[in-house]
Amino acid sequence: MHPLVLLLALAAPSQVTTEDAPTVKPIATWKGAEQTICELAYSPDGRLLATADDDGDVKLWHAATHALVRTLKSHKGRIDRGEIDGVKNVEVVGGVESIAFAPDGRTLASIGGDSKIKLWDVATGALAKTLGEFRYSRSLAFSPDGALLAVVGNNADDRHALCVFDVKGGRKVRQIQADEIDVFAVAFSPDSSLVAASGDKGAVLIYDAKTGKPARRINTGAPTTLAVAFAPDGKTLAAKGAGCIAIFDAKTGREASRLEGLDSALDLKFSPDGKRLAASSRDGAVRIWDVASRKEPVDYEGHEDIVRTVAFAPDGRTLASADKAGVVKLWAVPGVGGPTVPAAVSGAPGAPPDPTPLALRFDGIVRPGEAEYNRERTSVRLRFGPGRWAGTVVRSSVVWGDGNQGQDHWGQGAGEPTFASKVQEDVKGAFFIFSLNGVDWESNRAGALIRLTLPDGKPAVATALFPIR
């Protein structure tokens, strides 16, 4: 039996809308910023989703409800750029270019327009330390062992560089000049032994993370390579190639395979199991490839602007994306069964109460002749367990169905209270009628994940599995 668990699409109606489509459509959408969201990052435990934007803010969102937990006013300020023709040049800055959670989830690093590299305490939102300044920063990444933080961009001398910092000591341990290319992205190998930087001239430069010595150079064939990502097993890495996404052998630097179907890639992320690769693009599409089969990618359409960043949830079941208009979307990753429940953000200031989990029991399809029958909808009777449920209100839901081809289809079901009857009681106990949006589902069975408000006003989430034929 397919376990149905909490979708990340549930949220307060004032913040999130869920799209009405059965396949390859976002399961949730919300406005995360007024300007461009430059990067997304899930906390390692999946409890938080962080967004970095051109407004100068890093926002931490509750992953289960999408409620805003806190905002880090991280990189707004003014920088004295000296004098130009006798006139003092003071630049107003603020955009956050890159963020990353430390592997233990306790620290978040950010870098932005004020050129400062900042480390934040995730639990309190307080600034823990500032590592230094890095002019025109582009990207940063923690080593998987949490010991190092790599940053690429232009250093204080305005030279292209990759700098590596000791996180615990807060000091720069090495600076690697990359004068031959303008560097845009950085990534560590899974064992923390290598660090790769990609940039213009189609170059990916790989260095020994401990010594800073060059290990190899990969020529992707693309004029500019804005993103690079190591596979979780460390054997390969992905980068933008000439009219494709190229997969390279991490040891030899040789091209191992190609993933066709994308001319531009602004961000690349492997799924945690390494089986899939996601990319964001200038055309507003999000694409996911099956790395082994190299089949045509699945196109996730819905953004109306350039998509700057993508991020897989730690369980690999959800993909987040964000665009230049500040819109965040969540997508169910095909073939893995849908998102799982992130743990509560226990004690986090501003975090909403965690929904009470409930179980619902299927008690039959509503058939012709029954009072609740509606020929335009497939309706089922769902029952609560023992208890007092009078006054419970059904708010919204997301529905899962297993298609005839064995694929997972995620879409909006009863998105408004009108698709569910009021909670009623009979000799068997409390129940309500739940109606799917339409009767032409390809599935033989479905599951519903339903958001409710209990009689005492507390939020709850209920799950149910049932046949619909």
Q: What whole-number percentage of the chain has pLDDT above 90?
A: 33
Q: Which residue has the higher pLDDT, 389 or 177?
A: 389
Rounded mean pLDDT, 164-168: 92
Lookup result for tokens 């000091």 = 171
Cα four-point dihedral sign 81, 82, 83, 88 = positive
Stretch among 74-78, 275-279, 288-292, 311-315 having the lowest mean pLDDT = 74-78
Check pLDDT > 50 for residue 342. no
What is the rounded average pLDDT of the residues 345-363?
A: 63
pLDDT of residue 145: 95
Domain boundaries, the chain: 32-332, 356-467
The whole-number pLDDT of residue 58 equals 93
CA proximity to 423, closest of 452, 457, 466: 452
User: Check: CATH 3.40.50.300 for 32-332?
Assistant: no
At 46-73, the pLDDT tens digits run 989 999 998 888 999 987 677 788 898 7
Residue 80's pLDDT is what? Answer: 54
The number of beta carbons lying within 10 Å of the beta carbon of residue 449 is 24
Q: Which of 273, 107, 117 is nearest to 186 (CA)?
A: 117
Q: What pLDDT, on the 0 to 100 scale, is given for residue 341?
A: 45
What is the reported pLDDT for 91? 54
- Judged by average pLDDT, the poorest of 90-104, 283-297, 300-314, 380-394 is 90-104
Q: What is the pLDDT of residues 263-293, one digit of tens each?
A: 778 899 999 999 999 999 888 889 999 999 8
| CA–CA distance, 177 with 158 (Å, rounded to integer) | 11
Please give the span between the terminal C-alpha atoms of the chain, in angstroms, as a whole number: 17
How high is the pLDDT of residue 88? 58
The domain 356-467: what is its CATH number? 2.60.40
The C-alpha atoms of residue 189 and residue 242 are separated, in whole angstroms, by 23
At a CB cut-off of 8 Å and minimum separation 6, what does 87 contact? none
Average model confidence (pLDDT) across the chain: 79
Give yes or no for residue 415 having a pLDDT over 70: no
Rama region for 309: left / alpha / beta (φ>0; ψ in -120 to 50; rest): beta
| Predicted pLDDT of residue 191 | 96
The Cα diameter of the chain in Å comes to 87
Q: What is the mean pLDDT of residues 116-138?
A: 85
**Residue 148 neighbours by CB under 8 Å, 6+ apart:** 142, 164, 165, 166, 167, 173, 188, 192, 195, 209
* 411 vs 399: CA distance, rounded Å: 6
In this prediction the pTM is 0.70
Q: Which tens digit of pLDDT belongs to each residue from 171-182?
A: 888 888 765 678
Is residue 389's pLDDT more than 80?
yes
Q: Would you say 218 and 239 are in contact if contact means Cβ atoms under 8 Å apart? A: yes
